[in-house]
A and B are shown apart, each in its own frame.
Chain A
Amino acid sequence: MLLKKYDENYGYLNARLRARMDLFLKREDYLKLANGDLYGLEAFILEGQFGGNYREELLQSNLSLEKRIDEALARGIASNLQKVKAFAVGEPRLLLELLLMRADLHNGRLLLRALKTESNKTQKAPKWYAFGALPVSLLEELWDCKSNKEIIGKLLLNGHKIAICLARAVMELEQTGVLPQAERKYLSQLVRYAMDKIEDITGKNKKIILEYIHRTIDIWNFNVFSRKSRRNGEDAAYAKYFMDVQGLIERSRLFKATSWENLLVGTPWARVLKSIGVNYNEHVVLRNVIREFLFWQIYQRRKDLMGIGVAIAYIAMQLVEWQNLNTISVGLQIGMPSDQILSRLILLER
């Protein structure tokens, strides 16, 4: 401890997280839910870890059953992840804040897209991820703003570094009117912020977080690459949206590659090629890339019991469970057969 800049409590944090991992739903739980009905799902949620939030929604609102489930799951996950952050002290706290920045990335992109299409003027605010650094109340305020300048003012006034990153992205959108450019600006600003934060950290935890950031950059680049490969002959137009910071895949490779095989073979993403087979389309590749990233995160729980990997895995597992429960809820609402619901779930047997 004397040699480190930050204090840490990985032992305590990871013990709590590992104990909580036992609560995640298993394949047979999902099977039971998918074979049941919405009322069964409601009863299940009432009894489980999302129960507290569900009861609150049930008592306080006049929402429909479907909306209550949706709202309770969203609130439940936010309160769980905020609680986890509260368990951590020193280095793990700082790293958890960076990991939960994915909520700020998601929320910021929602806002930027709404500003581009001006849907914030006509539609209700979307469901924000409530576990990021920027509070939902601020996002709601931003949504109701009359102009981009007002949004930028509010963000700068807030003063949080992430708010300033978002302000710069809104400025970019205001100046250029190009959404991908504004989104790219936001992501690159967040990456720089994260890099600054981990500058003083040393050792294997920094290495894992760096890989996490690099993989996030790769996911962005894959999306750009997907558009580039769909529009032959317009390479240059899309190539400028590749991130300026390098991920696990070199920038030169991104520019030169003409197919997914060229791009991924021999890289840490090579396993995606096995899972997509021969006949695939862009959506399948992108979905499998996201899955691969999730599996990488979940695998981290086994690598070091006294490091940040357990928290990375916990957050990923929590997000997967949320997504699966939402899929089941939507599947039941539209009367989808249980086998089709199950085929859309992400089951973590690996």
Chain B
Amino acid sequence: MEKALIALAAALAVGLPALATAYAQAKIGSSGAGTIAEKPETGGIIIILEAIPETMVILGFVVAIMLILQFA
């Protein structure tokens, strides 16, 4: 039972940030596409902005690994 709860916690730690990241990247992506269409020179900045929400999933992934290694 305890293992199952740890697995669920790890899944949530990755899954919830993944959903939030997907939402944020969709918004940033569409706005970024519009900006690049008008100002191609902003391409580099837009790629960086698009990547920033990824940190949420990476942190979630780290938390999930820690949960599994610590308690499983």
By size class, the interface of chain A is 10 to 19
Please determine whether B27 and A15 come into contact, CB atoms closer than 8 angstroms: no
B33-46 CB contact bits vs A (8 Å, 1 = yes)?
Answer: 11101110000000
Q: For the complex, what is the distance from the CA of A12 to the CA of B30, rounded to whole Å?
A: 5
Please list the 10 inter-chain residue pairs (A to B) with the smallest Cβ-Cβ separation, ordered nearest first: A15-B34, A19-B38, A11-B30, A11-B31, A12-B34, A16-B34, A15-B31, A12-B30, A15-B35, A19-B39
Q: Which of these, B28, B29, B37, contacts A16 with CB under 8 Å? A: B37
Give CA–CA (A333, B33) in the complex, Å.
Answer: 43
Looking at A15, A18, A306, which has the most chain B CB atoms within 10 Å of its CB? A15
Report if A274 contacts B (CB, 8 A).
no
CA distance A141 to B68 in the complex (A): 76
Cβ of B17 within 8 Å of any chain A Cβ, yes or no, is no
Docked Cα-Cα span, A9 to B30, in Å, equals 7
Residues on B lying within 8 angstroms of A by beta carbon are 27-35, 37-39
Give the distance to chain A from B53, nearest Cβ to Cβ, in Å.
Answer: 14
Let me know if A155 is at the binding interface, CB within 8 A. Answer: no
B38 touches A16 (CB 8 A): yes
Q: Which of B27, B34, B38 has the largest number of chain A CB atoms within 10 A?
A: B34
CB of A14 within 8 A of CB of B27, answer no
> What is the CB-to-nearest-CB distance from B20 to chain A, in angstroms, rounded to a whole number?
16
Q: What per-residue 1/0 map shows which CB atoms of A265-305 lie under 8 Å from chain B?
A: 00000000000000000000000000000000000000000
- Please report A residues at the B interface, Cβ cutoff 8 Å: 9, 11-16, 18-20, 87, 306
A20 touching B38 by the CB < 8 A rule?
Answer: yes
Least distance between A91 CB and chain B CB atoms (Å): 14
Q: Which residues of chain A come closer than 8 Å to B38, judged between CB atoms?
A: 15-16, 19-20
Minimum distance in angstroms from B14 CB to a CB of chain A: 23
Least Cβ–Cβ distance between B49 and chain A, in angstroms: 11
Chain B nearest CB, measured from A106 CB (Å): 28
Contact B39 A11 (CB under 8 A): no
A10 to chain B, nearest CB (A): 8
Closest to B33 in A: A12
Give the nearest-CB partner of A17 in chain B: B34
Question: Does A11 lie within 8 Å of B27, measured CB to CB?
Answer: yes
13 other A-B residue contacts (CB within 8 Å) besides A14-B31, A16-B37, A306-B27:
A11-B28, A11-B29, A11-B34, A15-B30, A15-B31, A15-B34, A15-B38, A16-B35, A16-B38, A18-B35, A19-B34, A19-B35, A87-B34
